[in-house]
Each structure stands twice: as structure tokens, then as C-alpha cells.
Structure 1
Amino acid sequence: MSVDSEIKGPESTTKNAGDRRVVGSLLHGLEILQMFSRERRVIGIGEMASQLGLHKSSASRLASTLAYAGFLEADVLPGTYRVGSKIAALGTLAEQDLDIERTVLPYLRWLTWRTGETGHLAILEGGNAKTIAITDGWHTVRMHSWVGKSAPAYVSSMGKALLAGLNADELHSLYRDEDFVPKTDRTVKNYGELEKDLMKLRGQGYGFDNEELEYGLRCISAPIVGPDNTVVASISISGPSQRMTLERIAQVAAQVRWAARGASLALGSAGTPSGWKAAPGSAPEPLAWVEEIRSPERIPEPQEPIWISA
């Protein structure tokens, strides 16, 4: 991608081959950040200008702007910079999400093997539930989704398990009644309905989406609790309503809660958050209707996750 060799101001743009508009000065700023490495911790204005093909005055303005925003910090020698605190904070956030995924995935794989249904791991981003990992179900007819998918948290059991971990002020800051756009006629319609659903979720220890996101689809979720005893993520399984019948929900929910308990303990959780139903103390029985059709040759058992004692 070619970019402007000079910075013409905050709105300067250039086209790439796909004819999309991009901000040239922002690209230069990101290129400056990418110059830093473990072996290259301090960089001067002259070096920035030379590598980017800019005048020193342009490189200086970029570096000053990045420092003002907290992404760079001035070093001891005049005209030199090192990485700022904002970069460290973003790195910590990314590493935290990666640690959650690595830790929870073995339990999610076990849950999918145990139920046959598609498993999801999600975190809360604003008012949305963002999927960060998926384990594909082994039934022929199953739900299909993708990593990175983001949807309003109030429309799914997975999202509600995340919202249930917020206090009243945090929840109020995310939604107003006009924000509730229905996906089906079973989607929550206002803030009051959402509060009732979240209270029920905490009381039973799991969330249940009865065709609220999509007709013919049911989902069961449970929260993942971190070391500070707060909800840091949620897991869920999703499948067609003809297989996830109302009579089976309680048995399936026991599997989901057990997997969530194991993942939470593996993350260092100290217990159940205040106001929530306590995590199960023993493993649930296998699901009879799943055991009847699962072939060990075709669907081998995944490596057993480490079940830590509470």
C-alpha cells in the first residue's frame, strides 16, 4: 500500500488498490509503533523520519501526537521516544483474552463431545457478546457460527450470562428501552424484561435462550468466573429445538454448568459470585440420548481437561 509521503493534516487520505479511503497520517503513526521491538526500545525522530520517508518535522508531529495520547513516552535524550503506558494496557488486555481462550477451550471441547452441540466462548464488549472461540458440534444438523461474531448481548443466553455479571449501574449504562431490537417475538423487549431474565439466570446458575435469537434454535449458557470472583466470559451450546427439547434442558444445563465450573477453577476462581446459585459439586451423568448415537470411532473423546477440586 502506498501512502502520502507528507502529512497534510488530520484528514489527509489516500487510496489503496481496492479504492478504499484510509487516513495516511494514521497509517504513519501505526508504522512508528511497529518500529519498536524487544531489541529496539528507544527510537529517535531522525530514525522515524528516515524509515518512513518523512521530513523530521512531520515525524516529530506524529511522535508528539502519539505521546500526547499515551502511546509513546519521551525518553531521556531529547527527540527520542519509548513505548507508552497505553500500549502496555492494550497488550495486557489482549493477553488476558488469550489466556481465557487457552484455559477454557479444553472444557468447551469436552462439553461439545458430551452433548454433540456447537460450543461458544464469548466475552463482553460494550453491550455486545463477542465470540472468541468455537467448538463445532458433531451432529449432522448443527448451528454454524464464526470467531469474531458480535451481537447484542440481550438476544442470547451467552450474552445474558455476561450481562448477569454486571451491577445495576453498569447494566444501566449499556441499554435504554429503545435499544431493544427484537430478533424474534421471544426477544426481550425492554429493560425490565432483561432484569427479570438476569435475576432468573443468577438464581438457576445458567441461561436459556428459547428461540430468542433465531426460530428453531435453543442455547444454554453458564458464566466463567475469574480470580477476582467476577464474570469474565461465558460458554454456551446451541442446537436445533427438535433436539434441544424443553424436557432435556435441565440435563443439558447440568453439563454446561459443570464445564463452566471446571474452566472457572482452572482460571483461579475462588468460588461463585454473590447472588448466584452455587456451582455444582459433582459431575453430571452422561446424556443417555447422546450416548446412544455417539460412535467412539467417529467421535473420539477429546483429551480430558483437568478437573480441579474447589
Structure 2
Amino acid sequence: MAGRPRQDNGQVQGAAASLLNGLAVLEAFSVQKPVLGVTEIAQRVGLHKSTVSRILGGLTEAGYVQRDEETGRYRLGLGLIALSGPLLADLDVRRAAVPYLEQLTESTRETSAISVWNGHEAIVVEQVASPYQVKHTAAIGTRYNKFESSSVRVFLAELAPGLATELIESGRILRTAGDGLPVDHTAHLQDVARRAYAVNDGSTTGEEFGVSAPVRDYRGRVVGCITASAPRSRVHEHAAGDALVQAVQHAALEVSIRLGWSAAGRDTGRNQA
């Protein structure tokens, strides 16, 4: 029998039972049986037809199933793609980025990395270290929550302004008065979104120069961030800042294209998080 068995209300009750029964209904669908009627689903999950009908009504409103008006039968809805999208993107973006990080480090000879966003921190998930003896590196798993960080600002720039402000005012995103960045963070983040990159020129530490650019998936949503980090003295000595920005943006674009993003849809998903 396909689908998760219904829950024994003696063990699981209330909202938890309803949630698990809803999952059982979703799991009743399969590649072999992509379209099902209420009676079929009820038989598969061991629930009364009226209960299944009520669950399907809620799942339809949420977009997780679709009802054929002519037959009255159901199939899984596109809402499930959006639900699983963030997980799939986080898994895919690291694998997609690795060859481009290697190319970025080879061309710039500086450390490159890709980070993902957990809602209030940028987390490094892959890195290719600079071949120089003097370099900036961060261990995989390193978390950043300082506004001065270029990667953090790239992610914040994709949030609704109110949410970014809330994260800053709540202290989940740390900001210092002397970070060398504009006081008006909303206007600054709008500028970051418009330029599609952020620069950390000594704002976190006096000797660090970092450039970050967003990586987008097929929906146009930011699912990662490519960063190149270097000693600030080396960047300024060789006037390499602009070249580093261009190299990072190019790498981020290549990874985005590999994930299915099209430049034609560059505004899709922006500031909707």
C-alpha cells in the first residue's frame, strides 16, 4: 500500500496527527499512480473519505495538490517544487560552484568560496584557498552575521527591506557604528542589489578585502554567494579591486547559468523573501 499509514490517535493527537495525515495523503501519489481520486487515497492511507476530502481541500488551497475540475481527481501541485526548492538549491549550489571556484582562484590567485544563507547568517560551504603564503581563508562551516561582511550584505539585499531592518535591529545581524559603510542600510542594500555585488574594503578587519556576488537558481532567487577574499594591501598595491569584482561577478553568473538561471529573468524573485 502506497503512502504513509494513518496515525494512531492514541499516540499522536491534534495538530501533529493532522500534519502527519496530510503527509500521508501527499505520499499516496507515486510515479505509477500520479492521479488519484478521494476513494483511492482513502484506501491507501486508511482514512475516512470525508477526512481525506477535507485534507485535500487544504492542500489544494496551499498549492500542494491540484484538482481536475472535470474528473474530480487529484495530482501533486507545483507548490511542492517551491517547498523543496531551497533544499535542492542548497544541495546543488555547492556542487555546481566547485569548478568555477577553482577557475576563480586560478585566475585571481586569491581565495574563493561559496556561502549559503540560513535566514540570518552566511555559511561557507566550499572554499578554494589562494596559493599565496599570505592569504585570507575561512573553514567550511564558518558563519558570518556581520553587516560589514560582503556576503551578508549580498544576502540581505535580496530580502524585503523590512526584514533586513528587523534582523539588524534585533541584533541577529551585527552592525557597528564605525564599519565605514553608509548609515542608511536600506539605501545601501538597494545599491548592492542594483550592482549585484558587495565589497568589504577593510570594514571587518583592516587587512581584509572581500568581494561577493549572488548566485541565482532557475527561479531567479539567490541561493548562494560567491566570494573572493584577499589581503587588502595586495589588492590596493596592484589596483586589483575592479578586476576582482569582475571576476567574482563572472563566476557567480556562470554558476547561476549552470543552475538554470536566465539573464532574461534577472528580476524574478528579487526582494520577495
TM-score (norm 2): 0.63
Q: Where in structure 2 are the equivalents of 1:282-301 lying within 5 Å?
A: none
- Pair 1:248-2:248 in alignment: no
- Pair 1:12-2:5 in alignment: no
- Contact residue 208 and residue 221 of structure 1 kept, 8 A: yes
Residue of 144, 152, 165 corresponding to 1:159: 152
The one-letter code sitting in structure 2 at the alignment partner of 1:60 is S
Q: Which runs of 5+ in 1 are unaligned?
A: 14-22, 239-243, 274-310
Q: After superposition, what is the alpha-carbon deviation per residue over 1:51-102, rounded to whole angstroms, capped at 9, x for unaligned?
A: 3232333323222221232211223334x31123423544667777777656
Q: Measured at CA, do residues 91 and 60 of structure 1 come closer, stay the same or move farther in structure 2, by a change above 3 Å?
A: same
Partner of 1:236: 227
Residue of 58, 73, 77 corresponding to 2:71: 77
The one-letter code sitting in structure 1 at the alignment partner of 2:234 is R
- Contact residue 122 and residue 158 of structure 1 kept, 8 A: no
- Contact residue 155 and residue 187 of structure 1 kept, 8 A: no
Q: Where in structure 2 are the equivalents of 1:214-233 lying within 5 Å?
A: 218=208, 220-224=210-214, 232=222, 233=224
Aligned length in residues: 246
Q: Measured at CA, do residues 59 and 227 of structure 1 come closer, stay the same or move farther in structure 2, by a change above 3 Å?
A: closer
Give, in whole Å, the separation in 2 of the partners of 1:47 and 1:158. Answer: 49
- Contact residue 157 and residue 219 of structure 1 kept, 8 A: no
Distance apart, 1:44 and its partner CA: 2.1
Return the structure number with greater helix share.
2
Q: Where in structure 2 are the equivalents of 1:42-121 lying within 5 Å?
A: 42-75=35-68, 76-78=70-72, 80-90=73-83, 104-113=97-106, 114-115=108-109, 117=111, 119-121=113-115
- Contact residue 101 and residue 128 of structure 2 kept, 8 A: no
Partner of 1:207: 199
Give, in whole Å, the separation in 2 of the partners of 1:28 and 1:179. Answer: 37
Give, in whole Å, the separation in 1 of the partners of 2:115 and 2:29. Answer: 33
Q: Measured at CA, do residues 184 and 66 of structure 1 come closer, stay the same or move farther in structure 2, by a change above 3 Å?
A: closer
- Contact residue 157 and residue 208 of structure 1 kept, 8 A: yes
Distance apart, 1:207 and its partner CA: 1.4
Give, in whole Å, the separation in 1 of the partners of 2:198 and 2:175. Answer: 21
Name the % identity.
Answer: 23
Give, in whole Å, the separation in 1 of the partners of 2:40 and 2:143. Answer: 40
Partner of 2:271: none
The one-letter code sitting in structure 1 at the alignment partner of 2:212 is A
- Pair 1:171-2:166 in alignment: no
Distance apart, 1:219 and its partner CA: 6.0
Distance apart, 1:119 and its partner CA: 0.7
Give, in whole Å, the separation in 1 of the partners of 2:206 and 2:5. Answer: 49
Q: After superposition, what is the alpha-carbon deviation per residue over 1:106-140, rounded to whole angstroms, capped at 9, x for unaligned?
A: 222323455463512446x7x64554842353779
TM-score (norm 1): 0.57
Q: Measured at CA, do residues 260 and 164 of structure 1 come closer, stay the same or move farther in structure 2, by a change above 3 Å?
A: same
Q: Which runs of 5+ in 2 are unaligned?
A: 268-273
- Pair 1:137-2:133 in alignment: no
The one-letter code sitting in structure 2 at the alignment partner of 1:86 is G
